[in-house]
Structure 1
Amino acid sequence: MASCGFDGNADMYGIGIRVGFYLQWYSCILASWVSREDVPSMRVSNLMFVSATFLATIIQSLEGKTRPVEIYISLLLTFGGYLYLVPMFIWRALTGCRPQWDPTRYPRVRMGRIFSLLNFGLLLAVSGFQLWFWIVGIKTLSVGDCPDFGFLLLKFDFDTRGFVVANIVIHALLLACCLGAVGLMVVRLFGISHEHSEKIKPNRKFILQAIHTVFNTAVATAVTIATEKTIQWNGISGVSDISSAGQLIPLIIGIEMFIRVIYTAWKGEDKGSNAIDDSSVAESLTTFPDIAIQELV
């Protein structure tokens, strides 16, 4: 492994950039419970960092001087925040796609329309690029004599057909679901189909919000582990030192976000009002374990 190691691109996935992404993910998840008024600005900040990293990844790919594993790491950072859709779609399948059991219908903090459109457009773009990478890019980018390794719960060589096929299937399904959502929006726009809203009990709403948080946290943790293990397995050096402003900026912003959330939680200053009914949450907090068992059995 030592002979196959190489110097990585610290400006794309150096320690400062990686930790900045990790802190943004966890800060946003935590803020949805203790500092809801800060969530919109955190989402915009993360969207900007994802967009910048994604554009840099495209440029590096076009130049053809980057190893596939480096593109893979960058895509973990840019697409990691969207991978919560995988357990979410599995959950929907297990619950028969019943709206009253869909966690995404009852978020702690709702997205604005403009942000939703921008975020959805970025999701489509990154998903499309993922498919290109796993179908075409992985074969055309320079590799050298040493194998590249990736993470899919276990360590896999990029030449492993099952690993490549699994990634193609995952991203193809996600892209298909996204395009299906676009079609559904068009259908509803022309009034061909009508969605009937259904009120649910505050306790169930709280449970669904907790499930959503568990999915987000699990995915953020899995992507963090995948990124760090990939760097370790491929013997990538030069990406563990903070030596440029390009790394310091996302790191400092991530630290500031996390400190802000912790401070708000400590001071009890959460004033978010666009997420849920606070009285419902207060009522649910006292009986959450019992309610969770009754509702999920």
Structure 2
Amino acid sequence: MSQSCHLEGNPDLYGIGVRIGLYAQWMATLLITLFDPRNEGAYRVVNLIMQCAIFLGLCIDSTNGGTAVGSVITQILLCGSLSSLTGDGISHAGSFSGIFRVLFYTALSSYGCWFWFTGVDQMRIPDCSEEIAFFGRASINGRFRDFGKAASVIGIAISVGLICWNVYAAVLRRKGDFQYGPASRLWKRPQVELSLLLLSVGLIAFSIGAVEYLVDVNDISELSDVNSVGQFLPLLVGTISFFQTLMTTLRRRLIWRRRCLFLFGRHL
């Protein structure tokens, strides 16, 4: 990358400590959802807290001279937490955490619309045409930008639909007619939807690969040292969560627990 395109990153948004912490938290949530779904609620809340903190930092960074590439990296990190989609997929609908998650992704999609339609032009480095936004050295201002616009609009449409579904589920919960809550499956055998499991694993692999590729190909500096609270806390929370979940899974032999497997809603 040329000297005029030197990118100085924001370590509190996507520094090495934040990235490792988020990767570890994704894996921990995937493990707990797959092997011990009764306890997944706490992990989803932790994910949501970390997401909200990073998203708030992204909004502040976008108005204080942040780079367009840095915003793309952060958005990919925020989307990576969708990797917790296993199990029945709807048990948290209508709950406080479920509604708040949908509101968060609505806000993220709204930010994405602003970013891809107007924000890119404001955040790009002047006289630099080498900012890479995707695999294959795709330019941030090329066809990938059109994809970003479409994805953001679709994201808002899906989020609005999920808001309506959550409101409906909340009404059913109040009436006691919602059949998919955590209490309804307390004594049931754990369920795993294989299509969502494969999607989750693929999303984790894609998110990690895309983020690390963009950091490397754009030669972003100031990201390799864990020298701030903003990096240390996600690193600490994520790594402790992952190793604790892994040890619990192995110690209690949850891997061998019988569970119901589904493929596109059909019991195997």
Superposition TM-score, scaled by structure 1 size: 0.73
Aligned to 1:121, which of 91, 99, 103? 103
Partner of 1:169: 150
1:18 paired with 2:19, answer yes
| Secondary structure in structure 2 of the residue aligned to 1:262 | helix
Matches of 2:227 and 2:178, distance apart in 1: 55
Shift of 1:170: 1.4
CA contact (8 A) 2:94 2:169 kept: no
Q: Deviations over 1:92-150 (max 9, x none)?
A: xxxxxxxxxxx77x249756701011111111101100110000100112412223111
1:145 paired with 2:127, answer yes
1:257 paired with 2:241, answer yes
Matches of 2:19 and 2:73, distance apart in 1: 10
CA shift in 2, pair 1:261/1:196, >3 Å: closer
Matches of 2:37 and 2:259, distance apart in 1: 19
Matches of 1:188 and 1:33, distance apart in 2: 24
Matches of 2:171 and 2:241, distance apart in 1: 41
How many aligned positions are there? 250
Partner of 1:212: 196
CA shift in 2, pair 1:109/1:257, >3 Å: farther
Query: Alignment identity in percent?
Result: 23
1:242 paired with 2:217, answer no
CA contact (8 A) 2:82 2:200 kept: no
Residue ranges of structure 1 left out of the alignment (5+ in a row): 86-102, 198-204, 271-277
Shift of 1:238: 1.6
CA contact (8 A) 1:35 1:269 kept: no
| Secondary structure in structure 1 of the residue aligned to 2:145 | helix
CA shift in 2, pair 1:213/1:243, >3 Å: same
Residue ranges of structure 2 left out of the alignment (5+ in a row): 180-189
Superposition TM-score, scaled by structure 2 size: 0.81
Q: Deviations over 1:261-287 (max 9, x none)?
A: 1111111175xxxxxxx9xx7275xxx
Partner of 1:159: 141
CA shift in 2, pair 1:250/1:29, >3 Å: same
Partner of 2:75: 75
